[in-house]
Structure 1
Amino acid sequence: MTRIVVIDNHGQFTHLEGRALRDIGVDTEILENDTDPAEIDADGIVLSGGPSMDRVGRCAEYLELDVPVLGICLGMQFIAEELGGSTHSGDYGGYADVTVEILDEEDPLIGSLAPETRVWASHADEVDEVPDGFTRTARSDVCEVEAMSDPERGLYGVQWHPEVAHTAEGEAVFEAFREICDAW
């Protein structure tokens, strides 16, 4: 059975990420973001959302574990900044229903989603420049980088929350990530 751990960056939906993974048959556990990377035995890692870049614990070390990583909201922003991209404060603060345009139908994480899909996202902060090696894979009228991927390194990010009921194809995102982890 595929094992994917969720790293808790103190986000309000972290428990739903674990549940969404369990619901699709993944062995999962939620770990604090100060967990020693040597103690992590997993086929993949989800970096949860959270309130602050100042509270991401040892997330940088988890990117070095040679397993696929999916960053959600703050998790994606962290990956971008850690690997040489950049973020900024968004023009739209709180959570909102957003229609996302999928830009790459070949992307292993979100390429199978509808060309336009409804998601639930916060844009208090957002990625404005993807790191070298990444491709911008989704955009919206609110944010130019709604998702990014670097399949070569197994690193992915979505600005939105696939774990909440307001996101139309959230389960498909987690299923695609499981497939990425299984193939890795």
Structure 2
Amino acid sequence: MTHIVVVDNHGQFTHLEKRALRDLGVDVDLVENTTDPADVDADGIVLSGGPSMERAGRSADYLDLDVPVLGICLGMQLIADELGGRVGSGDYGGYADVTVDIVDEDDPLVGSLAPETRVWASHADEVKELPEGFTLTATSDVCDVEAMSDADRDLYGVQWHPEVAHTERGEEVFENFLERC
């Protein structure tokens, strides 16, 4: 059975990420972001959302485990920041229902959602510049970088929350990630 570890960055929806994966028949553990990645054995990692980069603990260290990683909201921002991208304040701010345009139909994480999907996302902070090796996979009128992927390294990120009921086809995002794991 596939084993996924959700790294808790203290986001309000983190428990829903664990539940969504468990409901797909996956063995899931939720660990504090201060947990040493060397103590984790997983087929894939989900870096949860959260309130701030300053409270992200050791989340960035999980990028070195050589397993697929999905960053959600803050998790995506952590990936970008750690690997040389740029994160900054969003123009829009808080949570909103957003139409996201899928710009890479071949992307293994979000390509199946093309041409567009409705999502629930926070844009207080967002990725402003992609790290080297990443492809822009989704955008919106609210945020230029709604999703990004480096399929060669199996590193993926979405600005939105696939685990909440307000997001259409969120389960499909998790299913696509599990395919990579």
Q: Which TM-score tier does this pair reach, normalised by the shorter chain? A: over 0.9
Partner AA of 2:55 in structure 1: R
Q: Secondary structure at the match of 1:136?
A: strand
Matches within 5 A, 1:10-25: 10-25=10-25
RMSD between aligned residues: 0.5
Matched, 1:35 2:49: no
Match of 2:157 in 1: 157
- What is the CA deviation profile of residues 67-112 of structure 1, one whole-angstrom value per residue up to 9, with x for unaligned ones? 0000000000010010000011011111000000000010000100
Partner AA of 1:124 in structure 2: A
Partner AA of 2:25 in structure 1: G
- What is the CA deviation profile of residues 27-79 of structure 1, one whole-angstrom value per residue up to 9, with x for unaligned ones? 00110001111110100000000000001111121100000000000000010
Q: Secondary structure at the match of 1:63?
A: helix
The 8 Å contact of residues 105 and 114 in structure 2, kept in 1 or not, is answered as: no
Identity value in percent:
78
Match of 1:138 in 2: 138
Match of 1:52 in 2: 52
- What is the CA deviation profile of residues 139-169 of structure 1, one whole-angstrom value per residue up to 9, with x for unaligned ones? 0000010000001011000000000000001
More strand by share: 2
Q: Distance in 2 between matches of 1:67 and 1:83?
A: 16
Q: Secondary structure at the match of 1:167?
A: coil
Match of 2:109 in 1: 109
TM-score by length of structure 1 reads: 0.97
Q: Distance in 1 between matches of 2:147 and 2:109?
A: 9
Where do 5+ consecutive residues of structure 1 fail to align? none
Q: CA deviation at 1:114?
A: 3.4
Q: Secondary structure at the match of 1:177?
A: helix
Q: Distance in 2 between matches of 1:125 and 1:110?
A: 21
Match of 1:173 in 2: 173
Give the 4+ runs in structure 1 shifted more than 4 A.
none
The 8 Å contact of residues 162 and 171 in structure 2, kept in 1 or not, is answered as: yes
Partner AA of 1:80 in structure 2: A
Match of 1:129 in 2: 129
